[in-house]
Amino acid sequence: MKKRTYKIVQKAGVFLGGILLSIGIVFAVVNPTGTFEAIRDTATTLIGYVDSNDHSTAEGSHAADQGKAAVDSTIHNAVNHDAVRMVSNPVDQPVYGDQASKQESAGLPVVKLYNAAGKPVGSATLEQINDGVKVKIAVSGLTPGKHGFHVHENAIQNGDFKSAGAHFNPTHKHHGLKNPQGSHVGDMPNLVVGADGTGEGEFIIQHGTLEKNQPNSILGRSLIIHAGEDDQVTDPAGNSGDRVAGGNIPESVTR
């Protein structure tokens, strides 16, 4: 009895499959481009429902649907919001934002650097690596020579570098990469600026992280450049002098 029922169901499935295949072939013959247009329009519609921000453009365009909730007919039982996000963005990148500048960056957090007068002097890009964060920095308009360069515990408020507080030091160590009782998590080697006022470099924030809500996370803090050279041993900042430039490290944004 079970075998007979199975054969009946199997034959019915084959029959229905043949009908659907035939309809598809006829549709493709009558309108060969329509099939691909339908697939394209469906994919575009799915993308339109992914972004939670409103990026609406001209009325009637697919982008006008962005930011709206997906209707039931768009997302079927077998497809959830995560799957739709995968269609629109195959590489799931984190998003970082700075409240002060209202700027966002995807993938890697970017720090915009300014001098005491509020003029831009460069930027730094942060990247998580094993047991640390890599900093790639490029600056201009600074005095030639070596400059102390650190992560500070607070974000800069209203352009006042003093509001950044002390060096980021969650482990309560002493200052300096050469200090036998150091160092702060926020300590880094000196930034070298050439005769033309420009400088570039790669540094490692040892034991720091870009992971949110961790005691050693540098998100939401700041990068500060000092006027002089850091001697890497003297508390609290290696006799590196005044703070001449800096920028806020963005926080991760949950979408």
Active-site annotation, residues: 150, 152, 167, 175, 184, 187, 226, 243
Query: Between the CA of residue 39 and those of 46, 158, 225, what are the distances in Å?
Result: 11, 50, 53
Amino acid identity, position 53: N
- Residues 57 and 132: their CA atoms lie apart, in Å, by 41
Q: What angle do CA 210, 173, 148 make, to 5 degrees?
A: 70
- Cα end-to-end distance, the chain, whole Å: 54
CA 31 to chain centre: 43
Q: How many CB atoms lie within 10 A of CB 43?
A: 13
- Residues 93 and 154: their CA atoms lie apart, in Å, by 26
Q: Which residues pair with 145 in a beta bridge?
A: 193
List, as one string, the DSSP characters of 82-117. Answer: HHHHHHH-SS---EEEETTTTEEEESS-EEEEEETT
- Residues 182 and 172: their CA atoms lie apart, in Å, by 9
